[in-house]
Chain A
Amino acid sequence: AQSVAQPEDQVNVAEGNPLTVKCTYSVSGNPYLFWYVQYPNRGLQFLLKYITGDNLVKGSYGFEAEFNKSQTSFHLKKPSALVSDSALYFCAVSLDNYGQNFVFGPGTRLSVLP
C-alpha cells in the first residue's frame, strides 16, 4: 500500500528566503506525485504534479518540486517566499491512471514571516 510522509508539521521561513516543504513516499510501482495548497476555509488548490520526464517540475505561483527516485522524495521548493504563501501544504501520491488511489500526507503548515 502506498503512503506519504511529510516529516514537518510546521515550517517557518522569513519573507524573501527560499522555502522547502518535504515529502517522502512509499509505493510499490511508479508514483504519480502531486502538491496541493489549502488556504483557510477553502478547498485544496493544485500546485504541480510529477508524472514522468524531467525530475524538476515547475508549477503555479513560482513553486517547483524535485522528484528523487533514489530517495523517494518530492520536496516542494520556492526560491523566494512571500507572506501570502502561508498556508497548509499537502503532498499526494497516486498509483493508477485515474487517480482513485490518491493518498495524501498529513500536511505541513508553512508560515512566512514578514
Chain B
Amino acid sequence: GAGVSQTPSNKVTEKGKYVELRCDPISGHTALYWYRQSLGQGPEFLIYFQGTGAADDSGLPNDRFFAVRPEGSVSTLKIQRTERGDSAVYLCASSSGQGIDTQYFGPGTRLTVL
C-alpha cells in the first residue's frame, strides 16, 4: 500500500453529465486534499478534509462541485452538469495531518468534457 491512488486515470464525458472521481489516500493519513491543474498551470486548491469533515472548501469553484469522505479514508469528488471548462487534471493528496507535513500526491485523473 504505497502511495495515493486515483481512479479513473482518464475520464471523458459529455457536457452536462455527472462524474465522480475517486481518491484512495495513504493508509493512516487523516488529511486529504483535492486540487485542479489546468494545462500550463500549477495545481489549484479545491477542498481539504481532516478526517470525515471538510475543513476548508473555499477552493470549490461553484456548487456543481462537491466532495465527500464518509469514513475518513477514500474520498470522492463529484461534479454535476459538467462544463467544458471543467476539463483539467484533478489531483488528490494526503498527509498525516499533524503539524506542517508534506502532502503526497496521486497520479491524477484527467477529465475531458466534450
Contacts and interface: CB of A to CB of B under 8 A. Distances in A.
A106 B100 contact: no
A92 B99 CA distance: 17
A90 B43 contact: yes
Interface string A47-59: 0010100000000
B107 interface: yes
B56 interface: yes
A44 B106 CA distance: 7
Chain B contact patch, size range: 20 to 34
B82 interface: no
23 contacts: A36-B105, A43-B106, A44-B105, A46-B103, A90-B42, A90-B43, A97-B99, A98-B48, A98-B50, A98-B101, A99-B31, A100-B33, A100-B45, A100-B55, A100-B56, A102-B35, A102-B45, A103-B45, A104-B42, A104-B43, A106-B40, A106-B41, A106-B42
Interface of A: 4, 32, 34, 36, 41-46, 49, 51, 90, 92, 94, 97-107
Interface of B: 4, 31, 33, 35, 40-45, 48, 50, 55-56, 91, 93, 95, 97, 99-108
